[in-house]
């Protein structure tokens, strides 16, 4: 038996984004009531489709960054190999990290000991609890925890090409320094941002993570439907 845990923030019209982004637009473009006037289908079985309009920055909600997001000339999201975006994963409990705090190497090593899973090419997810504490208030953009440069190097040294966090960034955004992003740029690794429900994966051991991006031409990132498959 397997359990599926949805890790994706629900996408909504005008949902919160950082100040640099336009708010996403997700609105009705054609209702079933309106399409009835198109005369599609038959009189006894009309075809009344509905559709909505979507406009957004690629880095809205649950998303993954492309290498090109941080390094001009690097691979865009459509050029990155699909096999990067799924695989063995582990979720570490980082709820002891305070708002605006940074995850250090010692935190990762202690979590590795607690879980009994040695990071070796895993996708590493980090449960800080910041989403449940602050979303949907705008405070989350100012107080989200980050990953230190040293801890990001540790992930790369252990073969983890992707890691994932709750909230809008792997860095404390209010500092404007982005040390984790800069290490990702230099080490050719990347990350998922704004995952949710990570608390349901703590203590589950190794599982399989999926977070496949859209095939966006030249995309600097992409929204994903992220989920975990946990064997029970």
The closest of 198, 173, 224, 227 to 63, measured between CA atoms, is: 224
Structure tokens given for 85: 């975006």
Residue 141: the pLDDT is 96
Is residue 132 within 8 Å of 199, Cβ to Cβ?
Answer: yes
List domains and CATH numbers for the chain.
Answer: 25-55 (no CATH), 63-231 (3.50.30.50)
Strand boundaries in 19-85, DSSP class E: 25-30, 51-55, 63-65
Residue 232: the pLDDT is 82
The closest of 129, 122, 78, 82 to 103, measured between CA atoms, is: 129
Give the model confidence (pLDDT) of 157-214 as tens digits.
999 999 999 999 999 999 999 999 999 999 999 999 999 999 999 999 999 999 999 9
Give the model confidence (pLDDT) of 92-150 as tens digits.
999 999 999 999 999 999 999 999 999 999 999 999 999 999 999 999 999 999 999 99
Is residue 81 within 8 Å of 213, Cβ to Cβ?
Answer: no
Please, which residues have CB within 8 angstroms of residue 53's CB and are 6 or more apart in sequence? Answer: 25, 26, 27, 28, 29
Q: Which residue has the tokens 């031409």?
A: 217
pTM: 0.95
């Amino acid at each position: 038996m397997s359990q599926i845990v949805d890790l994706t923030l629900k996408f909504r019209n005008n949902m919160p984004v950082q100040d640099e982004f336009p708010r996403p637009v997700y609105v009705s473009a054609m209702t079933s009531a309106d399409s009835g006037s198109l005369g599609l289908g038959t009189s006894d079985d009309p075809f009344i489709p509905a559709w909505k309009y979507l406009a957004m920055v690629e880095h809205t909600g649950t998303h993954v960054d492309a290498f090109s997001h941080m390094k001009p000339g690097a691979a865009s999201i459509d050029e990155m190999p699909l096999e990067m975006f799924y695989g063995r994963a582990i979720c570490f409990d980082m709820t002891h990290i305070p708002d605006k705090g940074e995850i250090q190497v010692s935190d990762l090593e202690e979590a590795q000991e607690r879980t009994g899973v040695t990071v070796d090419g895993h996708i590493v997810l980090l449960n800080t609890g910041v989403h449940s504490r602050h979303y949907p208030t705008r405070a989350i953009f100012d107080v989200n925890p980050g990953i230190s440069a040293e801890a990001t190097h540790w992930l790369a040294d252990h073969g983890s090409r992707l890691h994932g966090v709750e909230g809008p960034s792997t860095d404390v955004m209010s500092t404007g320094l982005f040390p984790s992003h800069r290490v990702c740029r230099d080490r050719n690794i990347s990350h998922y941002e704004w995952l949710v429900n990570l608390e349901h994966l703590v203590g589950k051991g190794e599982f399989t993570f999926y977070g496949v991006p859209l095939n966006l031409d030249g995309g600097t990132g992409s929204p994903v439907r992220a989920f975990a498959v946990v064997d029970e």
